[in-house]
Amino acid sequence: MQTRYADYFPHYIKSGIDAGLLDKRLVQFDLTKLAGAFAADRDFKFGYLGLQTLYDRYFLHIDERRIELPQIFFMRVAMGLAINEIDREDRAIEFYSVLSNFDFMSSTPTLFNSGTVHSQLSSCYLSTVSDDLDGIYQAIKENALLQKYAGGIGNDWTPVRALGARIKGTNGKSQGVIPFLKVANDTAVAVNQGGKRKGAVCAYLETWHLDIEEFLDLRKNTGDDRRRTHDMNTAHWIPDLFMQRVSENAEWTLFSPSDVPDLHDKFGKAFATSYCEYERRADLGEIKQFKRVSALQLWRKMLSMLFETGHPWITFKDACNIRSPQQHVGVVHSSNLCTEITLNTSATEIAVCNLGSVNLMAHLTEETCTERGRSNGKLALDQAKLKATIMTAMRMLDNVIDINFYAVGSASNSNFRHRPVGLGIMGFQDCLHALRIPYASIEAVEFADRTMETVCYHAYSASSRLSEERGSYSSFKGSLWDQGILPLDTLNLLSEARGGQVDVDRGSTLDWDVLRTRIQQYGMRNSNCVAIAPTATIANIVGVSASIEPDYQNLYVKSKLSGEFTVVNEALVSELKALDLWDEVMVADIKYYDGSLAKIDRIPAGLKALYATAFEVDPAWLVEAAARRQKWIDQAQSLNLYFAVPSGKKLHDIYMLAWQRGLKTTYYLRSLGATSTEKSTGSGGELNAVAAFLPSIDQPKQCLIDDPGCEACQ
């Protein structure tokens, strides 16, 4: 294969260009030099699911005949990302190396389209909808254009006036935001993404909006179907004042945005001051259209609908804005489809984010004993390798901005002005297994803290070095970066705004003062650098656990667009084999207990704790680990929460904890289905028969609930 790769490569480039698939500029590379960089043995890094996913979804084809092989696929992506580099062959080889070694993986849109004639490489788009018909339908049109090329959308609908609000032009009354959300929902279904899947949209609404109660019902299967959005995701954009009112069991006032126009753009203390003034004016009769509700009762309904329908998700406006490096030039009005992007939007700016993730598992190495220069048998993060990978990854992500195709002008303007990227991580659970740390432990929380500190330190450092080489992003002046305020420092800003309600460990291990000085001297190439996306699909390619997720089960069937795949925890199998416990009876037991070890007596208690599945880990541990990560991250993280036996009190406690710990966003609430089928085993306990015998519990999907093949984020 080493010889065949080199021989086939120039023919592939020619046939791809002739078929109208590849960018004609690829032929200008020194193909002989690139062919010499192929490492055919890296094909053996793949598992079956990873290869099948690439074959079905990613490899370019002519009339269904695939023209790519794994290493050629990675080289094509690398060439596309290096196409504007001065030393493009060397850079392409550098990019190829981190991709093919599974050190870093670009997001799905980048893998799909890099090096092709249509370079739509970005993952996420965020926009604000204006309160007029032109603005509303312009936003829906922009959604359609962005969805056409496989972008996930987050829309901020808060400015649109509420049901019953006066329309000056006609002296009539508004139908509110809900009918327009229905139109946006149907547009997402109508405009499928490149013929591959339906559009992916999330609507955000602030908690003081007068239509919020009807917004809660959008995903219900009962009621007037004209006021339901069965295909659209929804999310709350919650100000701190509301959470404080919930804590105090106080009243909350709902307004139409047309009566309180400045609330949309205010956050923190300024928001609280304006909001209380509007409440006073409402009491005096100066504002006619408003509604008083119990904050606690509204909160309970929000959590009830989240449990019942999976929506709307819980995200926090003030944490996103007070900690935003870009607060000097705008406001964060929403997150994206997967709740990890927190960028400014306005009537003139559609925020764009370009994603990719570091594979933490590829950066574990055996520690060296300093006295003898030999391995001491313990694993730790390879700091030098991680730094090198992130330097390369940030360059790749920055290149995406210049190469990317923009379907909408306001997206292009925004991306070139601020140049945000989102470097994330995956394989967190795999690292815990390798280090023998249970997810539900303070050691896991501390590992989350240390790893994210290292990743963020090198990401910000890499962006500053790119700035030294290429120049700072144009809106750098006046940013928190420019002021010497780094993400860790913004925890104090949030705590001050809340009156001290951010209980997070502030400890650090790296020299942030040196980095702070460097950034103030050389600037930053990117307004935002880090965001942890779900990584559902690219984690399948690499063969590691998705994002920051605990393992769903130790044995289950994963349904993808490529088919159904039996997934088994290989680390667990290795340990059971070493203990001479891996036999047909053990396979049957693990099947019977739905991939859980808790009730299998033969398994030692230590292994049960180490390989506890997502629903066996108290969600408080996920929040604590996320809080430690969030203190370093300039954007947010896609955080699913798992509840084996949900209760109103448990939901309240966990989401209140997430707010108190300063989290910016949360994602899906996962709970176990109540149904179960008859337990059985195959005649020989064979693994490939597991699909027929697993209980009919809904497997949590990492992105779209309705689409197991979602590649909107990663």
Bridge pairing between strands 200-206 and 233-238: parallel
In this structure, the number of other CB atoms found within 10 A of the CB of residue 15 comes to 15
Catalytic residue among 340, 349, 616, 624: 340
DSSP 3-state of 646: coil
Catalytic residue among 321, 336, 359, 540: 336
Could you tell me which of 46, 45, 68 has the C-alpha nearest to residue 56? 68
d(CA 689, CA 695): 13
Catalytic residue among 320, 338, 703, 713: 338
3-state secondary structure labels for all residues of 279-294: HHHHHCCCCCCEEEEE
DSSP 3-state of 61: strand
200, amino acid identity: A
**Per the structure block, which two tokens stand in for 600?**
């299998």
Could you tell me which of 229, 462, 259, 279 has the C-alpha nearest to residue 356? 462
CB-based contacts of 183, cutoff 8 Å, min separation 6:
140
d(CA 420, CA 525): 9
Could you tell me which of 426, 399, 330 has the C-alpha nearest to residue 128? 330
d(CA 645, CA 616): 10
CA-based R_g, the chain, Å: 25
Helix axes 70-81, 383-403, angle to 10 degrees: 70
CB-based contacts of 401, cutoff 8 Å, min separation 6:
354, 415, 416, 419, 421
DSSP 3-state of 423: strand
Fill in the DSSP letter of residue 55.
Answer: I
**Per the structure block, which two tokens stand in for 638?**
């896609």
d(CA 88, CA 93): 8
Fill in the DSSP letter of residue 533.
Answer: -
Torsional sign, CA 573, 578, 583, 585? negative
Chain centre to alpha carbon of residue 129? 23
In this structure, the number of other CB atoms found within 10 A of the CB of residue 518 comes to 17
**Per the structure block, which two tokens stand in for 257?**
């945005």
d(CA 464, CA 460): 6
Is 340 labeled as catalytic in the residue annotation?
A: yes
Residues 261-288 as b or e (16 or more Cβ within 10 Å = b): eebbbbbbbebbeebeebbeebeeeebe
How far is the first Cα of the chain from the last one, in angstroms, to the nearest whole number? 29
Fill in the DSSP letter of residue 583.
Answer: S
In this structure, what is the dihedral angle of CA atoms 436, 440, 445, 448, given to the nearest 10 degrees? 60
Could you tell me which of 99, 197, 218 has the C-alpha nearest to residue 150? 197
Is 453 labeled as catalytic in the residue annotation?
A: no
Is 221 labeled as catalytic in the residue annotation?
A: no
Torsional sign, CA 440, 446, 450, 456? positive
Residue with tokens 């949030």: 494
577, amino acid identity: K
Residues 634-661 as b or e (16 or more Cβ within 10 Å = b): bbbbbbbbbbbebeeebbeebbbbbbbb
Asked if 205 contacts 163 with a C-beta cutoff of 8 angstroms, the reply is no
580-589: long-range contacts at Cβ-Cβ below 8 A with a sequence spacing of 24 or more?
584/684, 584/685, 585/685, 587/681, 587/685, 587/687, 588/681, 588/685
Asked if 211 contacts 227 with a C-beta cutoff of 8 angstroms, the reply is no
Torsional sign, CA 10, 11, 16, 20? positive
The residues annotated as belonging to the active site are 336, 338, 340
